[in-house]
Each structure stands twice: as structure tokens, then as C-alpha cells.
Amino acid sequence: MECPTCGKIYQIKIQVDRNIGIYEWPISFECQNCGEILEYTYSPKGFRPKAKSFEPSPSDPPITTIGYSSSLPITDDLYLKDLDYLQSMALSSPFINLSSHGHFTMEEISAFDGFLQRMQDNLLPYKGVLKALLPILKKGNVKAFSKKLADFFGKKNYKDLSSTQEVYDTYFELLEKSYHNMIPPRYEEDYFQKYVKPLRDYLDKVTANDVKQIKDKLDESGKISIWYKEKALPYIAQMADEIQKFISSIIYASAGVGNVKSRGDLKVVTISFDDAVDKYEEGYEIFANGLKIIAGLNNIVENGNINTFTNPKLGGAIGIIEFASLSVGKMVEHLENYTTMADYLNGAMNNKIRNASTHNSITYDPITQEVLCYYNPADQSKVYNTTLMEICWLCYLQLLHIIDATLLARKIVEKGK
């Protein structure tokens, strides 16, 4: 690939697997020479924009090389390294490097591969469906929604719908299916079954009047139906459509790893730093406004009262309305002292990254992919060190949490009418 701005040449060594030849896959990295963000897609038709083609020769000078996989993180020795002919030919694939360097075991990679097969069959062919249907959902055009469904899934799989209620029910069924095809079995066991399912089960077993009281209480600080319709659903639809940018980070969820840094230095070549940070900021703000839904329900399940937090240490005991009126940072700080919620959030709401990015006090090294977050404007000595991989991982967690809150909110709204 040739940088269109400065002419520097890069060699991309692609992991050829069953995924790479089926869909379009994003490639993104920053030119070492001039800083241009180079973005490509690779598909069965090749690269877009078109890449140069050449036969390597022992007489070639060293060329800056990037390893690429559609689904796996890239080890440091496969990222932006100047390699001569022999070094280039001797490189192992991203798959072999990932296991041989000890970042993940063969068993963990094999389990992730099984999840990828399910995602390939059940999610990737339809990743754009939520985004395509959302404008029609908002209009409430039943006939148009039915036709769009048939375009995606075939007329045999979806009959014509007859009401706006059916349109909404169908959209949320698709959202539920998409969600479960985004999460590996280990995540479903460690997080969904442990933290989210008990909240759903509670709403299923109590009376409609009980749910209405929950809805009325949550709506006092802003209607939850407006939150999920105007904020959460558009974000979810866009992220689902771009899920390929984040697939390499999902291996941590598949392996049951909560701390990305514990598995060493791994790179992302599917998304630019600016794009990842923008999505992190957006997801942070949207989920912050939906936190009261999960926190309130968990208060009821654990303590029998929507206003009773477990072990509140921030400003004494506060109710759910007072909680929802806190600044975003204070809400997160409050929940960090609340064991169940802190475990569920799993670091997805990192105030230090958020504060640094909103104050433009964040720096990025495109060679190492290290990120320095100067999170206290009054004290530049306070720095949080992270990586592009960790930010991508947190974006993925935010997406799942926003879907959790959205599905719970809709259940509350429908049952509590």
C-alpha cells in the first residue's frame, strides 16, 4: 500500500482464514512518515482503494510491514516493523504468533474460533439490519418495515406485519438475537447470566402494577422510553453495523479476561485511534444516562427497594433519583463502591479516559499504540496509561451494557403501561 500523501510503501501480510474471503474487513493505521490515516477494506474483490501488487525479491530494501487478521489481535513483532526479504518470508501468521508468544493459549484461541463461526453465520451477514430498519421503525410504517425485513431475510422467513406493535416487537427480537450473537459463551456465563438475567427474571415474575411503579420512579429523572428510542437504539445500530472494527478485542471476553493489559502488548489494525475514542466518548455518555435502569433494578433484587444501594460510600445514602441527577463521573464513582455493579461494569466506564478525551488532554503514539490520558486538567502529573486495544475493548463492553439497559427499559415500558 502506498500512502497517497507522502508515497511511503507498506506491506500488509494477511492471515488467510475462512472469514477473510467472505466479508469486507476494515484496515486502518497511521502513516509513520506523514501522519495520514490510511484506511482500506479487504474483500473477495481485493483492496479498496486499490493496493499495489508486487513479487517480493531478495534484493528488495527493508519494507515496513503490518500483520493483519480479520478477527485476531496483532502481536508487536507484526506491527509496523521494517523487514528485509528473509525476515518477511520467515514471519509466522497472526494466529501462530498469538499463541506462540503466550498471549492466549491454543484452547482460548480455539474457543474464540468457535464463537467466530457462530458470529459469521448468524450476525455478520445481517450486521446492517438494525441500522437499515431503524428509520422505518421511527416512522412506524408497517408495510415498509415488512418489505425491508423480506429484503434481508427472504419472504419465507418473515410474514407481513399488521401493526406498529408488531413492528416494535420484531425489531427488539432482532436486537435480542444480535446481542446473543455478539457475546461469547464465557461472557454469557460470567456476566449475562450472573448480572443481567436476574433483573429480567424479576420483571417477568412481578405484577404489571409493580413494574409500573418502577417505570414511574425511573421516569421522574427523564423518560426511559425517550432514552432508548432517541439515544440508545441509534448508537446500537451504528455499532452493530461496524462490529468488525472491534472483533479482535472480543477475544478477551471469550477467554474470560477482565484486564486487557494482563495479556501483553497487542495491536489493533481495524480502527483508527480517533474513531475509537469518539465511539468511546459517545458510548460513555449514552450508557451513563441509562445506568439508573440497571442500578435501580439491582437495588430492588438485592435490597428490596429501588432507592437502597449496597454499601453506599459517596455522600451517604442516596435514592435512585438523586443518583440519576449526579454528574456522570459521580455516578460512576458511586457505583465503584457498589460491588455488584462494579463487577458488572468491568471498567467500561473509565472516568480517566473520558476526562482526558473531553478536555483534549490525550496523546497517542501510532507506533506503540500507547495512549496517555492526562485526566486532571489542574495537575498534568496525573496520567492514566492505556492502549488502543483497551479502548476498543471498553467500547465493546459499553455496547453490550447499553443493549442490556435498552432491553430492560423496553420490558419495563411495555409491562408497565
Q: What is the per-residue pLDDT for 311?
A: 63
Average pLDDT, the chain: 92
CA distance 355 to 329: 9
Cell of 49: 482503494
Measured CA distances, 289 to 117, 217, 325, 326 (Å): 34, 15, 10, 10
Measured CA distances, 336 to 259, 317, 331, 364, 376 (Å): 16, 15, 9, 27, 19
DSSP sequence for 110-157: HHHHHHHHHHHHHTGGGTTHHHHHHHHHHHT-HHHHHHHHHHHH-TTT
Q: What is the mean pLDDT of residues 213-235?
A: 97
Q: What is the mean pLDDT of residues 360-375?
A: 95
Q: What is the mean pLDDT of residues 142-165?
A: 88
User: Which residues is 74 bridged to in the sheet?
Assistant: 267
Q: What is the per-residue pLDDT for 317?
A: 62
Question: Taking Cα atoms as reference points, which of 172, 186, 195, 53 lies closest to residue 413?
Answer: 172
CA distance 402 to 138: 19
CA distance 257 to 212: 38
Q: What is the mean pLDDT of residues 170-197?
A: 95
Percent of the chain with pLDDT over 90: 73
Instruction: Assess whether pLDDT exceeds 80 at residue 157.
Output: no
Question: pLDDT band for position 101 (50/70/90)?
Answer: confident
E strand or H helix at 238, and its extent?
Answer: helix 233-241
Residue keyed to cell 459469521? 120
- Give the CA count within 13 Å in the CB-facing half-sphere of 281: 14
What pLDDT, in 10s, does the model give residues 34-49? 999 999 998 888 888 8
Pairing verdict, β 79-83 and 74-75: unpaired
E strand or H helix at 405, and its extent?
Answer: helix 388-415
What pLDDT, in 10s, does the model give residues 6-44? 999 999 988 887 777 778 899 999 999 999 999 999 888
Ranges of each domain in the chain = 10-102, 115-415
What pLDDT, in 10s, does the model give residues 232-266? 999 999 999 999 999 999 999 999 998 899 999 99
What pLDDT, in 10s, does the model give residues 293-321? 999 999 999 989 999 887 655 445 688 99
DSSP sequence for 259-304: -GGGG--EE--SS-HHHHHHHHHHHHHHHHTTHHHHHHHHHHHHHS
What pLDDT, in 10s, does the model give residues 379-413? 989 999 999 999 999 999 999 999 999 999 999 99
CA distance 286 to 236: 10
pTM, whole model, 2 decimals? 0.94
Order of all β-strands in the sheet with 63-68:
10-14, 63-68, 79-83
Measured CA distances, 178 to 51, 74, 128, 241 (Å): 33, 26, 11, 11
